C-alpha cells in the first residue's frame, strides 16, 4: 500500500489518469473515503459550513481546522491528506503563513496544505514550499473572497478576469505548488489552464477537462441540505436516510420497542 504523494499525482497526469479528491472531516469519514479509493483527502475549510454551521468559510479558525485535521489524519493511511489554510492564517504576513502551514504538518498530521489565491499568493506559497511543505493552490471562485466577488459567482467569464486567473495559475506553478484547484470557472478556461500547466489541476464546477475532480463529501452524500450548488452531483441521500433511521429510533424508544432482549446487557 504505497502512500499517495505529490509525485503520484504528477504521474497520474502524465498517464492521463484522473485524480479523485474528496473532503473529509473526521476519522470515520477519512476511513470510508480512503477505503473507497480516493487519491486525496482534503480537510477543506468548507467544513465551516457543512460541519460547524457557519454561513461562510470565513469564521473558521486555525485551532478548529487543526482539530478536524488531526481526526482525518488518523484515518488517512494511504491517501494524501491536505489541509486547507483558513482565512487570515496566511494573508497577513509571510512569517505567519509559514508558521501556520507548519502547524498543519506538526500538530495536525497533514502531508500538505492548500491555500486560496493567484498572483498575490505566489510569494507566500514559495516561502512555504521552501520549508519542505507541499502546497496545493486554489484559483477562480475562491470562497474566502465571497464578499469581494459579491456572492458565489462564476469567475473568468470576462477576458480580463480570465487572464488574471491564467496568470495566477502560472505564477503558482512557478512558486512550486504541486497541484491546483480550479473552482467555478468556465470549462474552456479550465481546459486551457490544464493544458498549459505541467502540474495537475483538480476541478470543482470547472468542467471535465481538469486532471481530476473534487467534491465536498457532505454534498456528494446528500448530508448537507441547506443548499446544493448546481455543479454538485449527489451520489446518495444519506441525510434523508439518517433522518429516517433516527425517526425510527425515536418511534421505537417511545413505543417501548427498543431496547429488546438482544440489546440488553445482563
Ligand atoms: O474547502 C473546500 O472543501 C474546498 C474544496 C471545495 C476545493 O476548498
Q: Where are the domains of the chain?
A: 6-235, 239-266
Minimum CA distance residue for ligand 1 atom 5: 44
Give 23 Cα–ligand 1 centroid separation in angstroms. 7
Q: HEC states along 126-151?
A: HHHHCCCCCEEEEEECCHHHHHHHCC
Q: In the prediction, which pLDDT does 26 show?
A: 98
Q: In the prediction, which pLDDT does 164 show?
A: 98
Give the mean model confidence (pLDDT) for residues 189-214: 98
> pLDDT tens digit string along 18-65?
999 999 999 999 999 999 999 999 999 999 999 999 999 999 999 999
Give the mean model confidence (pLDDT) for residues 221-241: 95
Is 80 exceeded by the pLDDT of residue 133? yes
If one residue of 21, 25, 44 were mutated to test the ligand 1 pocket, choosing by the most ligand atoms within 8 A of its CB, it would be 44
Give 22 Cα–ligand 1 centroid separation in angstroms. 9
Give the mean model confidence (pLDDT) for residues 113-133: 98
Give the mean model confidence (pLDDT) for residues 193-220: 98
State if pTM tops 0.85.
Answer: yes
The dihedral through the CA atoms of 142, 143, 147, 152 has a sign that is positive
What are 250's three cell numbers? 425515536
Task: Give burial (CB, 10 Å; 0-12/13-18/19+) of 116.
Answer: buried
Give the mean model confidence (pLDDT) for residues 167-184: 98
Minimum CA distance residue for ligand 1 atom 3: 44
Ordered DSSP codes for 191-208: HHHHHH-SS-EEEESS-S
Give 256 Cα–ligand 1 centroid separation in angstroms. 44
* Gap between the Cα atoms of 97 and 47, Å rounded: 20
For 89, the enclosing helix (H) or strand (E) is none
* Gap between the Cα atoms of 176 and 183, Å rounded: 19
Catalytic residue among 183, 209, 226, 243: 183
Could you tell me which CATH class the domain 6-235 is placed in?
alpha beta
116 is catalytic: no
> Is the separation of the CB atoms in 97 and 124 below 8 Å?
yes
Q: In the prediction, which pLDDT does 154 show?
A: 97
Amino acid at each position: 500500500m504505497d502512500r499517495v504523494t505529490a509525485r503520484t499525482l504528477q504521474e497520474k497526469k502524465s498517464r492521463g489518469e484522473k485524480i479523485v479528491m474528496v473532503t473529509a472531516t473526521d476519522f470515520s469519514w477519512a476511513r470510508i473515503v480512503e477505503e473507497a479509493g480516493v487519491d486525496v483527502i482534503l480537510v477543506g475549510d468548507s467544513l465551516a459550513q457543512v460541519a460547524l454551521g457557519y454561513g461562510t468559510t470565513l469564521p473558521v479558525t486555525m485551532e478548529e481546522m487543526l482539530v478536524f485535521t488531526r481526526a482525518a489524519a488518523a484515518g488517512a493511511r494511504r491517501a494524501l491528506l491536505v489541509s486547507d489554510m483558513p482565512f487570515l492564517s496566511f494573508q497577513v504576513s509571510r512569517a505567519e503563513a509559514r508558521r501556520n502551514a507548519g502547524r498543519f504538518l506538526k500538530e495536525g498530521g497533514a502531508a500538505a496544505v492548500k491555500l486560496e489565491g493567484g498572483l498575490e499568493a505566489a510569494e507566500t506559497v514559495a516561502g512555504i514550499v521552501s520549508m519542505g511543505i507541499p502546497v496545493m493552490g486554489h484559483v477562480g471562485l475562491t470562497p474566502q473572497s465571497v464578499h469581494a466577488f459579491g456572492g458565489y459567482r462564476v469567475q473568468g467569464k470576462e477576458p480580463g478576469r480570465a487572464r488574471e486567473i491564467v496568470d495566477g495559475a502560472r505564477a503558482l506553478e512557478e512558486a512550486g505548488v504541486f497541484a491546483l484547484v480550479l473552482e467555478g470557472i468556465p470549462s474552456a478556461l479550465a481546459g486551457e489552464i490544464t493544458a498549459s500547466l505541467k502540474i495537475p489541476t483538480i476541478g470543482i464546477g470547472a468542467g471535465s477537462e481538469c486532471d481530476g475532480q473534487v467534491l465536498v463529501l457532505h454534498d456528494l452524500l446528500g448530508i448537507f441540505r441547506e443548499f446544493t450548488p448546481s455543479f454538485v452531483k449527489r451520489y446518495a441521500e444519506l441525510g434523508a436516510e439518517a433522518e429516517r433511521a433516527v425517526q425510527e429510533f425515536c418511534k421505537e424508544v417511545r413505543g417501548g420497542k427498543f431496547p429488546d432482549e438482544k440489546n440488553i446487557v445482563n
